[in-house]
Amino acid sequence: MYEPLQDTLYFRFAEASDIDQIFSLEAEGYPADEAASKAALHFRQENAREAFLVAVKQNSSKDGEYSAPETCELIVGYICATLTAAGSLTQECMQSHDPEGNLLCIHSVCVERTHRRKGIAKRMLKGYSVMIRNMLTQVQSIHLLCKEGLIELYKNAGFQLLGPSSVVHGKEQWFEMRQIVRSEACAEN
């Protein structure tokens, strides 16, 4: 069941001080054999900060006023990614970051358990795509891996299914999905 979110969300880049909270969400959202380590999350935040977005819940106060964004501490979701020059996702390219790469590899799209089924993941993905298009002008496409049960979510957020992935991570089959950000002709202009 879809339940609208009553409180306001805003999106910002992840800070180093957010990693403990993000790691808790990662550990809650993924099986142990699939979850990123705290070191991997630190690496992504330090090296690909421009591709690490958090969704922060801004609670309304009793009088209907909203608190300032910097006073909100509850991260309810995040998306983190790295860049690669590879043409598709491989085990190797997903373990590094090439700042000059033109393919953005999303590693995690995670929403805190009590905030799921409220449209947050879809909102994050749509906003993320716009942000990437505007800020990382070399990016031609965004790729991600997902399990079969999440293909529809990503399709609804503008991704297309490419098929089963050769990347092995955990026990289940992963599927590669892509969203074209700009064509090569546009990127060269």
Residue 36, domain member (yes or no) = yes
pLDDT tens-digit map of 92-119: 888 899 999 999 999 999 999 988 888 8
In-domain check, residue 152: yes
Q: Would you tell me the crossing angle of helices 38-47 and 19-29 to the nearest 10 degrees? A: 130
Question: Would 177 be classed as within a structural domain?
Answer: yes
Cβ contacts of residue 118 below 8 Å, gap of 6+? 2, 3, 4, 5
Q: Which two tokens stand for residue 126?
A: 């749509």
126 burial type by CB count under 10 A (0-12 exposed, 13-18 middle, 19+ buried): middle
At residue 184, does pLDDT exceed 90? Answer: no
Q: Is the pLDDT of residue 3 over 70?
A: no
pLDDT (tens digit per residue) in 10-63: 889 999 999 999 999 999 998 888 899 999 999 999 999 999 999 988 665 544
In a domain, 47, yes or no: yes
On average, the pLDDT of the chain sits at: 85
Q: Within 10 A of 162 (CB to CB), how many other CB atoms are there?
A: 13
Residue 3 domain-assigned (yes or no) = no
Say whether 125 sits in a helix, a strand or coil.
Answer: helix
- Tell me which amino acid residue 51 is: A
Nearest to 178 by CA among 161, 164, 157, 165: 161
Query: In CATH, what number is assigned to the domain containing residue 44?
Result: 3.40.630.30
For residue 155, the enclosing domain spans 8-188
Residue 91 belongs to a domain: yes
Q: What angle do CA 30, 76, 1 make, to 5 degrees?
A: 80
Residue 1 domain flag: no
Q: Is residue 2 part of a domain?
A: no
Domain count, the chain: 1
